[in-house]
Amino acid sequence: MNMSKTQEFSHFIIKHQLQRRIRIIVPSLFRDKERATILQIVLLKRAAIEEVSCVWQINSLTIYFDPEQLPKENLFKLLETVLANFSKKPHASISKFSAHHKHPDGPKQDVVFGIGGMSCASCALFLEMVLSRNLNNQHVSINYISETGNVSGYLTKEEIFKIVHDSGYQAYSIDTLAERKLLLKFSHNHLLSTKKRLLIITLLDVPVLLASLFFKTSKRMRLIQALFSFPVVFLGGGGEIFKKSWIQAKQGTLNMDTLVAIGAGSAYMVSIPALFNVRKHAYFEAATAIIGFVQVGRYLEELAKSKMVHDVEELVNMQPQNATLLEGRIESIISIDKIAIDNVLLIRPGERIPVDGIVLSGLSSVDESMVTGANAPCIKEKGHKLFDGSINGSGVLRMQATAIGKDTVLAGLVHMIDQTQSSKLQIQKTVDIISSHLTPAIMFLSVLTFGGWVIRGEAVAHAFANAISVLLISCPCALGLATPAATSVSSGQAAKRKIYIRNGNALEQMAVIDTIIFDKTGTLTEGHAKVVGYLNISDLQDDYLLQLAASVEFNSEHLLGKAVVEYVRSLDLPLFQATKFHSIPDQGVRAEVNGHGIMLGNESWLQQQKIDMSVVQDTAANWAKQGNNLIYLVVDNKLAALLSLTDQIRKGARQLMIDLHKQGIETLMLTGDTKASAQVVADLAGIESVTANASPARKIQFIRDLQTRGRVVAMVGDGINDAPALAAANVSLVVGNATGIAIETADYILVDSDISKVAEVLDLSKQTLTVVQQNLFWAFAYNAIAIPVAMTGKLSPMISSAAMALSSVSVIANSLRLNKK
């Protein structure tokens, strides 16, 4: 498969393209099945468009066309015209939605960016609320732990950044790894500044606390308290809290900063009369303690956050800072961000590959395990691909840059993790709604507490202290941290195990999976098929038939097709030019070669084409019983040959099935291969049920039938030929490297092709969900117990602020336990 460089179009996005096929994303489908069907009908009216395959759940369209009748450039113009009219006449269910958008005809885009200045989980919730108020944004998610945001909609990056800046925060581009490193540097500097601020506050707090303990009736000491506590409460850490609470108040929202600002500010202000009357109670020490304990909590949170993003930081740091540019015979050291497409670079022994590219000259072994999952270093020579972040061995390579910045595979992996961490579990969406109402409710309870104690006849000072305690002991932030803290740690842990999570919501779904479906070829088997049998029943020579077969399969992405090409090349036979190539997923391929109409495919597809295969029936049955894959070769509508291919079952497949069965999970095989060959592999792996000869449509229907019966289904495939089935499943897992189409089709990518890691994904998902539930239980229980206790007057404002700070830290500490699992 040839990945295309991103091209700019108004109404669609090209994901990949071949000579006779393209796959595009059409935002205006709005994941609507009826709109997708209408679009298929419209496109198929053009004779040059042979087939249109649509996965409407992900707005994906695959178009098979004849480039001789319809050159690709003309196809793009046609798509622009059709989709422009298509977008202007939306389905009734979305017409109201589109009408509210400034750019209803423009492309929808996902913007992932870094955020600076967030001090607690409430900040993330506040930013989400502000960004969501703009109707051009369809989806907004902000992650406090990773300090990233993900906005999906019609606003440009600049417009989003302006909203963030106007809300009192900083926004940073993190499209490239160099920019991502800069964000990590900002985060590190923020940790240091938080530590410095805490030390200053502590130094100022000490004299205020000593004066309150030993010089309660001294006017001079109270003046010293007022002077020392003022910078703590209204400048430095306290000043930032007041600034943010004021911005939020202007937006009509209240959060944790509001509670702290009211608590500390009112404690200071009501203490001013005590400067002139020593009989009045002063709360200067309470005001400084409130800010001090909040800063302690936030420093501990920053410290824990740095540990949570450590695994992602390691991935980012795989890209070197500089590279050696070759211009003729002149070498120069340049920064990574100065590299341009087609630049020639020199890679010395032991250096990391700076960008994606191809080898121009040289021979060396390269460790690319974090990207492709290859356990052993790969030999690289002229024409081979190189991936950003890989480590060169002992040889010297000259390479040409083919992808830079955000377009490299490594940048794509980091971007994927960012998206995972910024996505929300379904349970967190409910929690966010509760959190948004918690702060006003606490303020009401604080006022109620003050009034209740005054009515009871207690001193105003005592009633005030109890009211402040209620404000301070509550902790909406602990609720907001419950999910992102756990998902951030688990996604980092997954990356460390060479498991990449593309969809954060899959963590929640995977934890409740009860059925796992496996594809056969390239999933349960190694994906290194070899031709082991060949039967020629035609009048054509063996070599010529094999040349015809390989010439067609050369254009195929299927593992078996690649095996045929490899076999023919091993015989030193040249290939011919194939025209009118067309691939039918999971069925076969067809093309014209040297004036012959050629078809290669499985039995069920060729039966549909009315091909007589009775003459090879016995041979096919014998080969199938051995577990071999069969490819039927048809020349000019007559069966010409039969090829038999074998592939080894993956190590760990049988143990995986044993582990899954122990957990009560049903395992099934769903394949387009014959029943006999599929059953052999299923028996070796220990799979309970086999459905063979399944077309792509049959696979989708099979999965939907299971879901209709209440089953929660995971699909494990190779991400190439089973994209529709993967999209139909509740959770999709791709076994293979993290390049190409796998990134677009999977919820999970197991880059080292170790199928036993399906069990690890399951365990990690369950552990993550358990930690989330524990966090939520603690956060709700803490507020449910602490607030009533504070209302009874049992807690001072200082103790309340300390408890509030520690409640958030406890949620993060519990989430960090996932690193040890």
Supply angle C-alpha 667, 669, 674, rounded to 5.
Answer: 155
* CATH 3.30.1360.40 in the chain, residue ranges: 13-99
User: What does the DSSP 8-state code read for residue 5?
Assistant: P
CA distance 189 to 689: 56
CA distance 228 to 222: 10
At the top level of CATH, the class of 530-646 is alpha beta
* CATH 2.70.150.10 in the chain, residue ranges: 320-407
Beta bridge partners of 364: 380
Q: Tokens 């207690």 map to which residue? A: 458
Give me the average pLDDT of each 10-residue run along the chain (821 residues). Answer: 51 79 80 71 77 76 84 86 62 37 57 83 80 77 82 85 88 82 79 83 80 69 82 79 78 71 79 77 77 76 69 78 89 90 92 92 85 71 88 91 86 75 66 72 86 85 82 74 80 82 80 91 82 91 93 85 90 91 83 93 88 90 85 93 88 90 92 82 88 82 89 83 76 71 69 85 90 86 85 81 78 82 61
Instruction: Assess whether 514 carries a catalytic annotation.
Output: no
**Beta strand 356-362 with 397-403: parallel, antiparallel or unpaired?**
antiparallel
Phi, psi of 691, deg, nearest 5: -120, 115
Provide the CATH topology of domain 109-170.
Alpha-Beta Plaits (3.30.70)
* CATH 3.40.50.1000 in the chain, residue ranges: 499-525+649-753
Question: 340 and 401 in contact (C-beta within 8 Å)?
Answer: yes
**Beta strand 322-327 with 748-750: parallel, antiparallel or unpaired?**
unpaired
pLDDT at 102: 47
pLDDT at 3: 39
Q: Which CATH number applies to 499-525+649-753?
A: 3.40.50.1000
Question: 626 and 739 in contact (C-beta within 8 Å)?
Answer: no
Beta bridge partners of 152: 110, 139
pLDDT at 2: 41
The SS3 assignment for 53 reads strand
Instruction: Tally Cβ neighbours within 10 Å of residue 688.
Output: 12
Tell me how far CA of residue 307 lies from CA of 312, 798, 804, in angstroms.
Answer: 10, 29, 22
CA distance 286 to 656: 58
Q: Which of 508, 376, 491, 449 is nearest to 145 (CA)?
A: 491
Tokens for 194? 């938080």
What contacts 141, CB < 8 A, 6 or more positions away?
Answer: 128, 149, 150, 151, 422, 423, 424
* CATH 3.40.1110.10 in the chain, residue ranges: 530-646
For the chain, what percentages of helix, strand and coil (3-state, to nearest 5) are there?
A: 50, 20, 30
CA distance 304 to 65: 54
Instruction: Tally Cβ neighbours within 10 Å of residue 335.
Output: 11
pLDDT at 95: 37
Q: Which CATH number applies to 13-99?
A: 3.30.1360.40
End-to-end CA distance of the chain: 38
Q: Give the DSSP per-residue string, 431-472.
A: HHHHHHHHHHHHHHHHHHHHHHHHHTT--HHHHHHHHHHHHH
At the top level of CATH, the class of 320-407 is mainly beta
* Choice among 311, 388, 407, 519 that is catalytic: 519
What digits encode the pLDDT tens for the residues 749-795?
Answer: 887 778 888 999 999 999 988 888 888 888 888 888 888 888 888 88
Question: 401 and 355 in contact (C-beta within 8 Å)?
Answer: yes
CA distance 790 to 794: 6
**395-411 burial, b for 16+ CB within 10 Å, e for fewer?**
bebebbbbbbbbbbbbb
Q: Which of 658, 650, 663, 655 is nearest to 515 (CA)?
A: 663
pLDDT at 5: 41
* CATH 3.30.70.100 in the chain, residue ranges: 109-170
Question: 371 and 213 in contact (C-beta within 8 Å)?
Answer: no
pLDDT at 520: 85
Instruction: Tally Cβ neighbours within 10 Å of residue 298.
Output: 21
